[in-house]
Amino acid sequence: MTNFSPESSAVQRLYNTYPFPPEPLLNEPPPGYNWRWNWIAAYNFCTGRKPPKENIRILDAGCGTGVGTEYLILLNPHAEIVGVDISEKALEIAQQRGQQSGVAPNHKPPISFHHLPLEKVEEIEGEFDLINCVGVLHHLPDPIAGIKALSQKLAPGGFFHIFVYAELGRWEIQLMQEAISLLQMERKGDYKDGVFVGRKLFESLPESNRIVKREKEKWSLENHRDESFADMYVHPQETDYNIDTLFELIEASGLEFIGFSNPQYWQLERLIGASEELSKRAEKLSDRQRYRLTELLDPENITHYEFFLGKPPLVKIDWSEDKILLSALPETHPCLYGWPSQGFMNHDYQPVTLSDLEYHFMQACDGKLSVEEILSKVAIDLEGVRSLQKKQLIILTPKTGE
């Protein structure tokens, strides 16, 4: 029997009371994709190329009821998948989810689940090429201890996908959390009572109240379920970050920061690009200062951080040399919705419209013909090919030895 700290025990009780995420079990594979959970797509984002192997090990650290785990199983047919969580109730649902949908029985490499706190992940044998940790580190009593423990399980050349909360975009949530705690008095730790108190507060507050307005604008669609409401408003353990404290967490991992996996949010130009003077001043800032300025100027939309870390040696490829690009083998990105068509959704479910040449080039991208061979049939230039690669519409495999 695993011994938990008092803080971890409180979190365990919450998720045994309200297993999370509360998505229903399906009798078929889950729809769509999250490209961050696809090894080929994630590796491409981090290095600029297709991974040299797909028979890898993936750890879903804090898997909960297995919503993300099921996608990891579905999107990585050649990978061994391991899930770990502190809640035995959530783990039961996670295992049932994969069985009921048919995803787990059809998966050949092993799938296993472990009832452990993340700080004790060293008890799981071996290293992992990809570690997925979504919405978990910020609920640990010591997130730095957690990220260090997980980082030690990452194989050299591997990647670590993390999602943690941002304090500025969750300001109203923090206020409601404290209000519920005050009104619970001696009933703190009674999570069903916490949900009752929270619901009553939202019913009682005027519609013009800032907390009520934010809930209706941002969170109410998911919070109609008590499991989601409890996870957001009555959680016993939470750390919210800003850019400065986030990078303290990252630096403690000893890993390399690859980049935010939602880079469009961190384009400062979308906020101050209309001013040439401000843009010039911002160019003199470091990357971290630009990130901080972005969240200060757009706090409502920065509710979380999602990013990749990597463990050296990390081999990233530069496609600027024509010879290397011409010899590469292109194929379409594995996470495209509506392809083949000149209009479809990209890996982030954003609409894409291709020119005739782009469309014909992508149609020929089968992973067998080189870029040079395709260009002998399709009159697109190399900058057009580079554009498709930068937009993550195609994935390139370099010629052996390059």
- Predicted confidence (pLDDT) per residue in 272-327, tens digit: 999 999 999 999 999 999 999 999 999 999 999 999 999 999 989 999 999 999 99
Range of the domain at 198: 169-233
CA–CA separation, 88 vs 223, rounded Å?
A: 23
Q: What is the mean pLDDT of residues 22-30?
A: 96
Give the model's pLDDT for residue 141: 96
Note whether 162 and 211 are same-domain residues: no
CA–CA separation, 39 vs 308, rounded Å?
A: 12
Note whether 117 and 37 are same-domain residues: yes
> Exposure pattern of 37-59 as b/e (b: 16+ CB <10 Å)?
bbbbbbbbbbbbbbbeeeebbbb
Note whether 207 and 342 are same-domain residues: no
232 neighbors 195 (Cβ within 8 angstroms): no
Give the model's pLDDT for residue 280: 97
The yes-or-no verdict on residue 402 having pLDDT over 80 is no
Note whether 131 and 101 are same-domain residues: yes
The answer to whether position 104 is within a domain reads yes
Note whether 189 and 160 are same-domain residues: no
- The helix (run of H) or strand (run of E) holding residue 352 is strand 351-353
The answer to whether position 315 is within a domain reads no
The answer to whether position 402 is within a domain reads no
The yes-or-no verdict on residue 1 having pLDDT over 90 is no
Note whether 159 and 286 are same-domain residues: yes
pLDDT band at 2 (very low <50, low <70, confident <90, very high): low
The yes-or-no verdict on residue 401 having pLDDT over 60 is no
Note whether 33 and 144 are same-domain residues: yes
How far CA 318 is from CA of 41, 48, 209, 308, in Å, comes to 17, 8, 51, 19
- Predicted confidence (pLDDT) per residue in 383-399, tens digit: 999 999 999 999 999 98
Total structural domains within the chain: 3
Note whether 136 and 14 are same-domain residues: yes
Is residue 330 reached through a cis peptide bond, with omega within 30 degrees of 0 on the bond before it?
no
Give the model's pLDDT for residue 9: 95
The yes-or-no verdict on residue 400 having pLDDT over 80 is no
Note whether 272 and 200 are same-domain residues: no
pLDDT band at 205 (very low <50, low <70, confident <90, very high): very high
CATH (domain of 379): 3.90.930
pLDDT band at 186 (very low <50, low <70, confident <90, very high): confident
CATH (domain of 10): 3.40.50.150
- Predicted confidence (pLDDT) per residue in 339-367, tens digit: 999 999 999 999 999 999 999 999 999 99
Give the model's pLDDT for residue 224: 96
Q: What is the mean pLDDT of residues 208-215?
A: 98
Q: Beta-carbon neighbour count of residue 270 at 10 Å?
A: 13
Note whether 259 and 289 are same-domain residues: yes
Q: Beta-carbon neighbour count of residue 359 at 10 Å?
A: 17
Q: Which two tokens stand for residue 158?
A: 């591997």
Note whether 294 and 201 are same-domain residues: no
Give the model's pLDDT for residue 196: 98
Q: Which two tokens stand for residue 329?
A: 């083998």
313 neighbors 157 (Cβ within 8 angstroms): yes
Sign of dihedral through CA atoms 374, 380, 383, 388?
negative
The yes-or-no verdict on residue 369 having pLDDT over 80 is yes
The yes-or-no verdict on residue 127 having pLDDT over 90 is yes
Task: Give the chain's mean pLDDT.
Answer: 96
Sequence-distant (6+) residues with CB within 8 A of 347 are 33, 35, 41, 333, 335, 336, 392
The answer to whether position 142 is within a domain reads yes
CA–CA separation, 94 vs 295, rounded Å?
A: 35
Question: pTM score, two decimals?
Answer: 0.96
